[in-house]
Amino acid sequence: MTLAQQANYPLPTPAMQAIIDKDTSRFFGDAPADAGPLATDLSPALTPAAIDKAMRKVADWQLPRTMRHLDKIWTSAVLFAGFMAASESSGDPKYRDAMLAMANQFEWKLRTPYPNADDIAVAQTYLELYFQQPSPERIAATRTELDSLINLKTLRPGDERQPWWWCDALFMAPPVWAKMYKATGERKYLDYVHTQWRVTYDLLYDQEEHLYARDASYKSKREANGKKIFWSRGEGWVMGGLARTLDYIPADDPQRPFYIQQLQQMAAKIAQIQGPDGQWHAGLLDPATYPLPETSGASLFVFGMAYGVNHGYLDAKTYRPVIERAWAGLLKNVYADGRLGGIQQTGAEPAFYLPSSSYNYGVGGFLLAAAELKKMAK
């Protein structure tokens, strides 16, 4: 019996349920009381065919739900990145074609003036589509917005917070800036990444635990067991952001080792605290308080570690067994219809949710993981 079939987990508090209800009303996903049976047709074998089957099953369940309620918000942006990866990995153009339709519907624009990291995340997909067919209008609006931000020392005029003041931002923003560097050849976009990532690192990276505080307010907070609060998805965002940014940093860039070292340190810590079932929990250092597996963080861990193995940053002999257990654990949360459960609702810290809980950003992480894992399997 899997954790997802057991009833011995804490239910969301009223405050947590309010967030779940809000996320559902915004079409990020949902958490039905009964999501039906779990999938029995998926194999955890690390073969291209088995991985591809799981990836398509989850992607095909999600795609029609997504296209009915398109949004430029970060939750959707992460999923769009996953669909792009799934299309490239599977060779099926339908996922990419859906993303092209999305971009055209939004006229290749971002959400707001002075966009924060969450608001520019959708441009990761705009830029990937641009690389496939370089057409200036595909990146024009994004470039204008980045140029409005590049000389700001703070989040925006009147807001004194640093641009990437929360760790999630390291997934959302740096890949956009790094891809813009590739698209334009203008070094200023990559220099911005180096400057701002270092600022966030200095503020949030815990040199003892080799994990990131979600934001500065969490540096003094503790779990019920007295340990520091490190949130599964928050750490996943950073590992995923490292993988998606490193691709665009030149091999001879003197800053490159800074990012590789973080990936190595974080991967070592994440591997150390992996559960016997191959899974992780919303509160990484307090699994007893959060007994359900959490799959959005786990998906991003698999993505980051597989990326590290594929590029020679992580030792394959050490990490392949970790990744293999993690992938098997993830598949235990896939339902017969393709729903990926075990995804915590939006927030800033560990919380309670139902096993059926499924949201678009977590599916995006899963698709990124599957695509990278398939490269490793090959």
Residues designated as active site: 168
Phi, psi of 38 (to 5 degrees): -80, 160
List b or e across 135-145, with b for residues whose CB sees 16 or more CB atoms inside 10 angstroms: eeebbebbbeb
Over 117-152, what HEC string results? HHHHCCHHHHHHHHHHCCCCHHHHHHHHHHHHHCCC
Using CA atoms, how far apart are residues 155 and 163, in angstroms rounded to an integer?
4
User: ∠ CA(129), CA(59), CA(96), 5° rounding?
Assistant: 15
